[in-house]
Amino acid sequence: MENTPDSSTAPVPKFNPLSKFFRQPAAYIKLPSNGQYWKDGSLDLPVNGEIPIYPMTARDEITLRTPDALMNGSGVVEVIQSCCPNIRDAWAMPSIDVDTILIAIRVASYGTEMDVETNCPHCGAANKHGIDLKVSLAGITCPDYNKKIEIDNLKIKLIPQPYFIVNRRNTIQFEEERMAKALEQPDSPERIKEIASSMSHLIQIGIDTVADSTEYIELEDSSRVTDKDFIKEFYNNANGNVVKKVQARLSEINVEGAVKSQTAACAECQKEYQIPLLFDYANFFASGS
């Protein structure tokens, strides 16, 4: 007869008496997207639409000071999923929600005020101002993606890109631009060829961005083309004005969804000017700044 384990001898899970001191949500936010455009399973959205934001851990702070992790986006994703447990897959978050989430993590970790150093555009004096991140959060709105672009009897419907694609494009473009700058040395046939190849790659990145930002293209008979390969082929072969018009609308969308600048007065000349909120992660998430 086999001996069966005695349940009374099973190890009892240890209770950590320090658990009540673990970090707790320090802020709650509503996403500009209201949960739209997220891939199924990537976001656990509460009924009230507000997701809890936890302060950063020491590990999170170190992650945001690791250049390689920031460059490939993995560090930002890791910190977001640590501080926003309701976000299951931060790579899938739509671009319109990124700034709101990052500001909220900063607020939950260090408070609502952030010091920003700027030079007055009127007199050049150095200034240090405290900006209210609550105002920044309140000013972020979701662009109107329902506004279709009409051109050549077509209607083009746009959609925000997921963070994975945005980060990948930014990384590729950074590398391409760095390569192009390095090649701006005395001309040689090899350098000219490499510069042309690099520029061609950058142009293709622009077209790919337009294609990935397109949800569908509606034809005259109201049928819709949603296949990404067909859409990309269309942009690669369409009149250049089509791509330019879509890029112009994407630029408008970027402005509509951007974090608004705040107004401050120069301590020297007393003139007012706009202070933008820049997402240099190493500085933006530095405590006490």
Residue 183 has pLDDT above 90, yes or no: no
Phi and psi (nearest 5°) for 280?
A: -85, 100
Instruction: Please give the average per-residue pLDDT across 98-103, as a whole number.
Output: 94
Asked, for residue 18, whether it belongs to a domain, the answer is: no
d(CA 218, CA 186): 49
Cα(194)–Cα(201) distance, integer angstroms? 11
251 with 280, same domain: the answer is no
Characterize the bridge pairing of strands 262-265 and 27-30: unpaired
Indicate whether 136 and 28 sit together in one domain.
yes
CB atoms near residue 63 (< 10 Å): 21
Return the minimum-mean-pLDDT range out of 28-32, 88-92, 140-144, 203-207: 203-207
Note whether residue 164 is domain-resident.
yes
In a shared domain, residues 77 and 99: yes
pLDDT band of 260, cuts 50, 70, 90: very high
Number of folded domains that form the chain: 2
Q: Are residues 249 and 268 in the same domain?
A: no
Task: Give the pLDDT confidence of 33-81 residue by residue, as tens digits.
Answer: 999 999 999 999 999 999 999 999 999 999 888 877 777 788 899 999 9
Q: Are 44 and 182 found together in one domain?
A: no
Looking up tokens 């007869």 gives 1
In this model, does residue 264 exceed pLDDT 70? yes
* Separation of first and last alpha carbons in the chain: 69
Give the β-pairing of 272-275 and 214-218: unpaired
pLDDT at 13 (0 to 100) = 79
Sign (positive/negative) of CA torsion 19, 46, 30, 248? positive
Are 157 and 236 members of one domain? yes
State the residue range of the domain holding 90. 24-140+263-284
Structural domain includes residue 30: yes
Sequence-separated (6 or more) residues with CB below 8 Å from residue 234: 217, 225
| Residue 288 binned pLDDT confidence (cut-offs 50, 70, 90) | low
Average pLDDT over residues 263-273: 94
Within a domain: 2: no
pLDDT-based confidence at residue 277 (cuts at 50, 70, 90): confident
Q: Given this model, what pLDDT does residue 279 score?
A: 73
* 8 in a structural domain: no
187 and 249 in a single domain? The answer is: yes
Asked if the structure places residue 10 within a domain, the reply is no
User: Could you tell me if residue 6 is inside a domain?
Assistant: no
Question: What gap in Å lies between CA 212 and CA 169, rounded to an integer?
Answer: 11
- CA gap 153, 149 in Å, rounded: 10
Neighbours of 52 (CB within 10 A): 17
Average pLDDT score over residue span 179-186: 62
C-alpha dihedral sign at 227, 99, 79, 86: negative
Per-residue DSSP letter, 9: G
